[in-house]
Structure 1
């Protein structure tokens, strides 16, 4: 029998880990354990934790330090990207009530004037609005409106901003505002948005408004059942285009019969006839104070449901 030269390893010996593989496997287990300790909030802790996992092995410690720094750089870049993504439409995040990173929230001005603007000609004057509101103003768009978050400095600064923006509108749009601290901007945006809806639905003239200008409408339409019942009062007029246009013109003229007749290009007697027909259909006399108030509230409620 020919004597074998060399020694063939058994299958068990082939599969057994080498000392080097054992060392790496042990290190990886320690790295996983270190990962369970990391809070995820401080990337600087990574290098320390990984180096600790390689304690007693200079070579692995050097690898841990190098790898930890690379991973730290990666996470730093990721955080910068996340911050940039938030800041890209920071005003939009504020309007939608999205939670912001603590450092972004702390970087905001302590208090803001929230202005929701409806332009008579959408798309125009937007950059002008931003310019007159100030360079630190945050701007976004929601539901066809321009939304401005204007830093509110000292007393009266918000009023000055409202005046400038209103002048910029030039009688061709509506502006609703609310003021809140930076932790309650979403609430302020909702208030200003609702005020604007009430103003537009109530056929108010171009100008600046706050919740104090629509307290009655706000209180009445906030209750869902009341809003539904009011809308039902006015709905029959929708089927009659002439009567609907007459009531709209009458409200828009601030209940002046002469102005309403002129805007409709009809005789005063024709207007009076139509107003009587509106009273017959709705049960509310638009020429009386109580009837006019109820019909106006009903028009707003119907518009809010649309």
Structure 2
């Protein structure tokens, strides 16, 4: 078995590799810089002073780190890795692509091997293989350091931006110095927002056997918000959980007209794979608090009246909204159904009958009972409440009573 050869003793073409790398360092750095500019388009867009300064500097550090590690027969130490990681942090701060940084380091590793192995012959095969292995190990170590530094900075940046946006949303909804918070977060407020209170239906995966429901919910929310972000970029502010929540969108571009609101909500629902019920209103930043409260109330009204998925404004449900405002009238409407409390099957039949557009046969099918049973139960509703669900005149009162009952429920 061949004994391990120390890195400082590895020799190619009659010269120790670490010595050749140190001797040819200026040429090697120039070759690395030339290669990454030729092969990585993102580096060609960097200012000349950055290429000649920071990029050349970290290239020199990496080359010297490899030469030292070879001479001292060791892996890169913590200080050397910190230098490489710090450079990756700067690239992340600049928004420079991680894949470009990694490609550049791998290009540098190939040049290190090319210069280090120059002049090697058939007698150098064993050392050549050892040098190649060490260059590959170096590239792997550097890749890990770069990725770790870059992603840690990215997580910090994303976390800070997320916190800033959550704070801004909170101030907009709860009231406070909106302009001050926006300036401190570096966020430009739009002239007006589209304020959406949304209810998201469950995705099929949430109830699928063997599927993690939590992951399914997060995937649904991510896809739902991504549709808005594709349209509105970083201007989207949202507070969502599984069932829904609040979304603020800058009122510009396609959202300048109401049809654009419907189109975008439809796209978001399809992207998430769920039905969406939403209440919408527009508001200047100081008015968001009032608009968010109102759209939340309108969304409640849509639920209470069983409106189908879609986007609604207050004008679409003026009568329904007024009917369900707290007060004596709402309490008396809800009281109409009080005699049915002891007969849950009558409440269920009435709700199903109305949901099926007063079609008794469909109601019977849905409830798995005979149509005559439906007729009997609806007549019982008439007798107990004084409002006849089988007569057009009785329907508005019963619909309003059901909505008032839902609105009054805890």
TM class, shorter-chain normalised? 0.5 to 0.7
Task: Give SS of 1:222's match.
Answer: coil
Superposed CA offset, 1:115-173 (max 9, x none): 11111228352122211122321001489532100111156445324322234335623
Structure 1 residue 237 corresponds to structure 2 residue 314: no
Alignment of 1:20-59 (within 5 A): none
* TM-score where L is the length of structure 2: 0.50
Whether contact under 8 Å (1:247, 1:275) holds in the other structure is yes
**Pairing 1:116–2:197 present:** yes
Q: Indicate the residue corresponding to 1:162 in structure 2.
A: 262
- Residue pairs, 1:63-82, within 5 angstroms: none
What 5-or-longer segments of structure 1 have no aligned partner? 1-82
Count how many residue pairs are aligned between Structure 1 and Structure 2.
Answer: 224
> 1: CA distance between counterparts of 2:290 and 2:252?
19
Alpha-carbon shift at residue 109 of structure 1 (Å): 0.8
1:88 paired with 2:187, answer: no
Alpha-carbon spacing, 1:260–1:100, altered in 2? closer, same or farther (3 Å): farther
Residue range with higher mean Cα deviation, 221-230 or 100-109 = 100-109
Supply the RMSD in Å over aligned alpha carbons.
2.6
1:295-306 equivalent positions in 2, closer than 5 A: 295-306=398-409
Alpha-carbon distance change, 121 to 260 in structure 1, aligned in 2, over 3 angstroms: same
Alignment partner, residue 318 of structure 2: 215
User: d(CA) in 1 for partners of 2:364 and 2:240?
Assistant: 37
Name whichever structure is richer in helix by fraction.
2
| Aligned twin of 2:244 | 145
Corresponding residue for 1:259?
362
Mapped partners of 2:266, 2:162: distance in 1: 32
Distance 1:176 1:146 in 2: 11
C-alpha displacement of 1:113: 0.9
TM-score of the pair, normalised by structure 1: 0.65
Is the alpha carbon distance of 1:214 and 1:290 closer, same or farther for their aligned partners in structure 2, counting shifts above 3 Å?
A: farther
Aligned to 2:372: 269
Q: Structure 2 vs 1, CA of residues 84 and 202 (structure 1 numbering), >3 Å: closer, same or farther? A: closer
Shift of 1:211: 1.4
Q: Which runs of 4+ in 1 moved over 6 A?
A: none
